[in-house]
Amino acid sequence: MQPTLSQNFTFSCLQNLPKGMKHPHAVGLSEENKRKNRFKALCTYDFNRVILHKPEGANSSDYINATYIKGCQRDKQYIATQGPRVNTIDDLWWMVWQEGITQIVMLANLQEDGKDKCEEYWPAAGKSQTYGQVTVRGLEEQQRADYAIRSFVLKAAGRERHVTQYHYMAWPDHGVPLAASLVDYWRYVKARTTSTVPLLVHCSAGVGRTGTFIALDIASEKESRGEDVNVNEIVTKLREQRALMVQSEAQYKFLHEVVLEAHTSRATRVTVSQFDSIFPDNIEVKKDNARIDKEFQMLKQMGQFAKPNNSMATMPENLDKNRNMDVLPDNDHLAYLTSYVRGRTQYINAVYLPSFYHRHGFVLTQLPIPNNTLIDFWRLVDGCHVTRIVSLGSDHEQETVKDFCQYWPRTSGEVLTAGPYSITMDAFSKLGTCLHSYRLNLKSENGESSREVELLYYTDWAGEVPSDTSSLLHLVDTVKAKQTDDVTTPIIIQCIDGAAKSGLFAVLSDVISRVTHDDEVDVYLTAREVQRIRPQAVATQTQYRYLYKAAQEYIRHVGVYANSGVR
């Protein structure tokens, strides 16, 4: 059955929603307070504005552009506010202190499209800053692909409180992010949100992205309470409390999409502590599993909604650069070639994909085509400043793959030439029975670039999935161990078509990182995020079961693979 919102969700037209300022708002437009508004015509309503109760002797104004928003549980479940201006940072931190806020949701970047969207209102980790009556000390910052988690200690009136900020950074300057990405972020926040104090949510104006996030949260709570979810009704009620919530048509359409994404993934997250009780038996790739197979069917159905734009890949001059015309990159995620070579275009069949830590952590690409894209492959390595390549396949591909291309030298001292590049093999080592490491040196003929590149060649993957899980888990841990926090250049993941094996590896890498850092498994949502960029990834039920099987083995034997040369 195709997933649909027709039974529990109601679509309607944006044109029917309330527009403009519907209630008295004199306080926000007073001469004293209007300079505190980021946008002249957008302020709070008088009836539900947050009133600042400042200590005696502090600035007398009680105004901040912040609004109490009703949720399913409480009248003041959220506070929607604008991104602070220079002259309102002190007010923001006093509001956080006054309202007992412990979590802040930030949905804008400091600058977007060359314009200031929000002041950097927090101190760096290890630094302290006093904002009016509140001293804020930065404790820690963790980076994920699409968001950052920052923790602080606030001190005022002789007391201390911990506050966490969740900063989502993947909302583009124009348009909307990927639905699965926002749902992943929202669920991370949701799992850590207390139910007794308001959740502070802000973007730049405090209405568009802020309204979308709050509407998603309300829709999810309504569904969990068994109530009908009417997106139009939710947005209407939000706009009665703060003008222009869910501001644009694109955001309104996106809200429906993200509510559906949250709906389909509502039961796919499993904590590590729950995993063995939910899956007590060994998971087998050739054996039915009702829960896993149901998730995969939903994954396939959701994939039908994808509408990729492959116009670059199908331009006449680029057609012969694709090994498989069913695996073409979307323009929005295409890894364009930046290293100039006369007579070559900027196109290569390769896409950027987020890793757990970086938005462009992986580049998925196909096996080069001899006498055609071999030069382009090394242009990709050069232009992206790549220092690590993972090649997935088997030793038999040279005989079984049409137009096979040996794109790196395999004997010490051997030099391979690809257009303006020369690649030399400097060293070789075996990291396991089916995992080999080649240390290569890449040089351009003009001497402008020269770098060491490590190629990890995994040879235990002839069919849909490897012959076991332990060898691929060893590769995942090997790659993780070689990465450092300050390295932001992508890792190239290469297989024959740049999707079937590469996509599964990317999903598994993220799944294992979630186990390590968040003590949870969510194969479905992780696969959804990858499929929105490379739809052909995790295309079979066998591969989907394999991901669960690998997660099960990793949980049962965590830490083994990085310290052993298994298979």
The predicted-structure confidence for 482-524, as pLDDT tens digits, reads as follows 876 556 799 999 999 999 999 999 999 999 999 999 999 999 9
Token pair 């055609």 in the structure block, residue: 372
First to last CA, the chain: 41
| Residue 203 is among the residues annotated as catalytic for this protein | yes
35 Rama sector, left if φ>0, alpha if ψ -120 to 50, beta otherwise: alpha
SS3 state at 159: strand
Question: What are the residues facing 199 on neighbouring strands?
Answer: 78
Q: Where in the chain is the domain with CATH 3.90.190.10?
A: 10-115+164-265, 290-562
| Residue 13 is among the residues annotated as catalytic for this protein | no
Q: What are phi and psi of 559, to 5 degrees?
A: 90, -10
> What secondary structure, in 3-state letters, does 400-435 show?
HCCCCCCCCCCCCCCEEEECCEEEEEEEEEEEECCE
- The rounded average pLDDT for each run of 10 residues, N- to C-terminus, in the chain (567 residues) is 42 74 96 95 97 83 98 96 98 98 98 96 98 98 97 97 98 91 97 90 98 98 95 96 95 96 96 96 96 97 89 98 98 95 96 95 98 97 96 92 96 94 97 96 85 96 96 96 76 98 99 96 98 97 98 85 46
Tell me if 407 sits within 8 A of 541, measured CB to CB. no
**Rounded-to-5 percentages of helix, strand, coil across the chain:** 30, 20, 45
User: For 27-78, what is each residue's pLDDT tens digit?
Assistant: 999 999 999 999 998 999 999 999 999 987 777 799 999 999 999 999 999 9
Calpha distance 431→230 (Å, rounded): 55
Tell me if 82 sits within 8 A of 65, measured CB to CB. yes
The whole-model pTM stands at 0.93
The reply to whether CATH 3.40.1360.10 applies to domain 290-562 is: no
pLDDT score of 153: 99
Determine which helix (DSSP H) or strand (DSSP E) holds 548, and give its type and residue range. helix 541-556
Instruction: Sort strands 103-106 and 111-112 into parallel, antiparallel or unpaired.
Output: unpaired
SS3 state at 507: helix
SS3 state at 177: coil
SS3 state at 105: strand
Name the active-site residue from 43, 118, 203, 405: 203
Identity of residue 284: E
Calpha distance 81→382 (Å, rounded): 44
CA geometry: angle at 155 spanning 149 and 158, to 5°?
155
- Of the candidates 155, 113, 120, the one whose C-alpha atom is nearest the C-alpha of residue 141 is 120
pLDDT score of 117: 97
Q: How many C-beta atoms surround the C-beta of residue 201 within 10 A?
A: 25
Tell me if 176 sits within 8 A of 80, measured CB to CB. no
SS3 state at 554: helix
pLDDT score of 490: 96
Residues ≥6 apart with Cβ < 8 Å to 359: 145, 146, 169, 170, 352
Beta strand ranges found along 132-276 (DSSP E): 134-143, 147-156, 159-168, 199-202, 229-230, 270-271
Name the active-site residue from 118, 384, 434, 495: 495
The reply to whether CATH 3.30.70.3270 applies to domain 10-115+164-265 is: no
Identity of residue 542: T
Calpha distance 273→551 (Å, rounded): 13
DSSP 456: E
DSSP 394: B
Q: What are phi and psi of 144, to 5 degrees?
A: -115, 175
